[in-house]
Structure 1
Amino acid sequence: MPPSEITATSVVPPPTSTTMLPVGSYTGSPAPIAAAIGANGTIGDLVQAATDLAAFITALRRVDTTGAPPRRRHARGGPLTENDERVRGSIAVLGDRINGHAVLHSWKESLSAPAWEGPEFWVHGDLLPGNLLVVGGRLSAVVDFGCLNAGDPACDLQPAWNMFAGDSRIRFRAELGADDASWLVAAAGCSTRP
């Protein structure tokens, strides 16, 4: 099944209302796009959202990657080692604006995780809150597939840090069956994306 058919098998309900963004809105597209609205874009239950987003990721992972273009170096879903020099350079440039010692320690810990040796899966690569549409308080759609890539599935664990906490983070990890190595890689990858 091609990635374009993933919505047909997704458990996330379709949006029920849309609005058009003004033509002048920058969306990365040359024309206006439809954006779901409802409940002011606020998720009502983060644990349910974790379950829904994990179901989407699971469905995406089931799509056959046969014929997928080769992953470009530094593209999302690749090994952290590809970004080591850039990350260390960024830590140095930030100087005392961050706790560089703690950040470098965390980075080194993530680098120590075993590299992914399993099959490549489709990864969205950009599961930020702004790319998740909410209708009626519930996750309705995932947008912005510009980073879609076949690679390490740990890449799509980033919502654990940019969206979830506490019980919702625990549920998200459990629903996806993330092992400790994937969790470490995702923790670093969440903040080191090119």
Structure 2
Amino acid sequence: MRSEPLPAVIRLAPALTILLLVGPLAAGLLGVLIVAGGGVEAFSAGIGLGGAVQAVFAAPGILRSLAVPLVAALATTAVALGVTFLVMAAFYGTRAFAVLRQLVAPLLSVPHAAAAVGLAFLIAPSGLVARLVSPGLTGWVRPPDALIVHDPLGLSMMAGLAAKEMPFLMLVALAGLSGLQPGRA
């Protein structure tokens, strides 16, 4: 059987697909960057986009405000994935794993705002955890003046995002495990 060369349209299909998917995204991102960087005002004032971008990066604290969410996003993903792997490895084949399998899907339906408020009430300096261990274990008569929500490093945000991300990752892992059938080697 002789193989014939593919038509040009089929050879170009992967590149065209990528262009159709990435093109609008790149154009939208460019538009957002121009508007956010003051490009519209800069062009009308004759400064140009380069001057507007330089002005944005000259603002005090801009690098920190860009680094904290980026690090938080990457750390949250790594923590959620790591905890998911640990839970799956530790509890696979146990009764607790069967219970976990039943609880994962309903956890996905919890709204993000409700989970965030619940986590804030749990870990706040006057929250449930602090009330359970105080004053006996901590010696606190009053809660400390600690910044939990909107903390400078974004730790509470990372905890909330990881808590919301883990059920989804576990559901995906459960779907993958059911397709692999690891118990039948």
TM-score bin, normalised by smaller chain: under 0.3
Structure whose CA Rg is larger: 2
Q: Whose helix proportion is higher, 1 or 2? A: 2
Q: State TM-score, norm by structure 2.
A: 0.26
Q: Larger strand proportion, structure 1 or 2?
A: 1
Q: Which has the higher contact order (CA 8 A, sep 6+)?
A: 1
